[in-house]
Structure formats: structure tokens, C-alpha cells
Amino acid sequence: MIAQQIFEECAQQCGLIALKGNTMAEFKAIAPYQKCKEGDLAFVPDKKALQQVLEQGVSAVVIPKELQQEAEKAAESTAILVSANLGYSHALMKQRYGDHDYSRSGWGRIHPSAIVHESVHIPESTSLGPNVVIEQGAKIGENCSIMAGVVIEHDAVIGNGVRIHPGTIIGWECVIGDNCLILSNTVIGSEGFGYAQDQYFNHHRIPQTGNVVIGNKVTIGANNTIDRGTYGPTTIGNGCIFDNMCHVAHNVSMGENCIIISGFLGGGSSTIGNRVVASGGTMIKDHVNICDDTYLMHRAGVEKDITQAGMYAGGPVLPMKEYVISNAIYRRLGELRQQVRELAKNMTNNLGV
């Protein structure tokens, strides 16, 4: 491709604000700046990286606007694409020009082993891999890639542009929005953990007849489980991104654009606001409410409502400032214990006991 063509096609959508240097430079691939060469385009974060890629003879660079003057002085044969937000440009441009091509599976549009109920319409733009099962009444959107071994149960709804990786199960009546990415061996709409006990402590299942509703542009990592609600839905808002190995229990309501990292455990009927960030190992008790713009750090354990935005850490969670002080004291417990013992000993000696 030619730099001028890239700029004309996607400048506005990808956050590019200027094209400088050799506007007719050609390149064939997007490469990491550490290993780029002639014929590559690289995203360059800082002055040191800029010097490195120019020495390597890279054909085109995308740089933050702070580097524009320096890049123009140093680069003669290189195309310089200036970005207002380098990370954003990287994401959108790689999605457009360097994403995985799902058509390379080699199976054609619908593999002969796929089992699709006669009531289900598969659009011409959607592909099904080996051993896919789609049950009665399911609705499948345009431009979807449904890969090997996926099961979509009856009356589930799959939006447009959805990528479902091998071994995933979408439970009955669950709803997946547009442009979602669901990675391997995830179960959406698994049975919620609802039981009652009698006087002998025997367990009696409460049927979970709600569903799961996932918004648009959501990523669900590998080996995630999202339980259906007891009556109403478990909901995941638009733009949320989940790492691998996370669990969301029944009747959870999660807002938009949350970041959920590996090992997350969300207790049933909890409410999580918008733009909540949960770092690895975060655990949220059932029936807890967490407000917008909350950051949960250091294996946070949330046992009661959080009503003020900010950063919290530890278990039970404390505001970050208190957590840091508490941690500092904890590290000195051995030393403090010894000091207390010595003080007690001195007091005893002074009293002649």
C-alpha cells in the first residue's frame, strides 16, 4: 500500500491528523518497531524508537504529534503519519489492515459437518466451521465467523460481525450484540448457581430461566463463564473487555467499557458501573453495588458497596491511600512485635516483678 492511500482511506476514522515526508512510500506489512525493516509500517512511541526505526530503513511510521518536527528533520524517504492518539491509531489501523483473516480456515462457507436447524437462516456473509450446532429458532447475523465445535442453543440471537472461537457455547435465548469477539471454550448462559436447602441440608435446584444479554463490541476471553439470571437477564454493557478465565454469576448487571482481568469472580446480583477496572484476582461479593469509574487493584476483595469513584485495593478493599499505609505497617509487624516484647520486658524489670 501507499502512504497517501492509507491517509485518504482512514485518516479521520483512525485518528491521523497529518501526512509528511515521502507521501508515496510503499509498504507491505505492519511490523513492531523493534524488528521493522524496509517495506514495513511501524508505530513509534518515542524519540528513541524513532531513531531506531529510521536506522533500520522502515518505509512508513505512525508517530504521536509530539514527534512530528523531529521526524520531519530526520526522515527523507520515510512516510510520516502523525497521530493524535498513537494507541488508538494502532488499534484501528491494525484492525483494518492487519487483522486475522478468518476465511483462511480452508473449509469454505459452511462445513458439511455443521448441523443447523431448518428454522435457522445463515446469511451468505457468515461462515460455519466443522461440527457447529445451531438449534431451533436461533438468529444469526451478517459477517459472522462461527468456528469449530461452537454450539448455539435454541432461540439465541447473534448480532452482526461476531467472531466465536472453537468450543464456545451460547445458551438458549441469550443475546450477543454486534461486533463481539468470544474466545475459545467460553460458556455464555450457563446455569446460575441457585439452590435452596431443606432441614436436612439437602440441596434443591432453583431453575435459572433468565438469560444473558451482551452489548455491542464486547470481548469475552477464553474459558469465561457468564451465568444466566434466575428470572431476568445477566447483562454486560457495550464495549466491555474480559481477559481469560473470568466468571460472572447470575443476575449481575455490568455497565459499559469495563476492563475485567483474569481471575475475576463477580458474585450474583451485583451491580457494576461504567468504566470499572478490575485487576487480576478481583472478587466481588453478591448483592454489592460498585459505582462508575472505580479501579479495583491488588486482588481486591469487595464485600460492601463502593459509592465513591477512585482506586481501591486489597481484601477487604480499602481506598488506595489507606491500603498503602496499611501495607507499610504490615511489613513491619515482625519488627513492631519485637519492640513490644522488649518494652514489656523492660517494664517488668523496672517494676521488679
CA triple 87-91-92, angle to 5 deg = 120
Task: List CB contacts of 98: < 8 A, sequence separation 6 or more.
Answer: 29, 30
Locus of grid cell 448457581: 193
Instruction: Please answer whether residues 290 and 277 qualify as being in contact, where contact means their C-beta atoms are separated by less than 8 angstroms.
Output: no
Q: What letter would DSSP give residue 144?
A: -
Instruction: Please answer whether residues 139 and 122 qualify as being in contact, where contact means their C-beta atoms are separated by less than 8 angstroms.
Output: no
Active site residue 250: yes
**Residue of 90, 165, 250, 298 marked active site:** 250
CA distance to 15, 162, 284, per residue, from 96 (Å): 13, 16, 37
Task: List CB contacts of 219: < 8 A, sequence separation 6 or more.
Answer: 180, 181, 182, 183, 240, 241, 242
- Residues marked as catalytic: 250
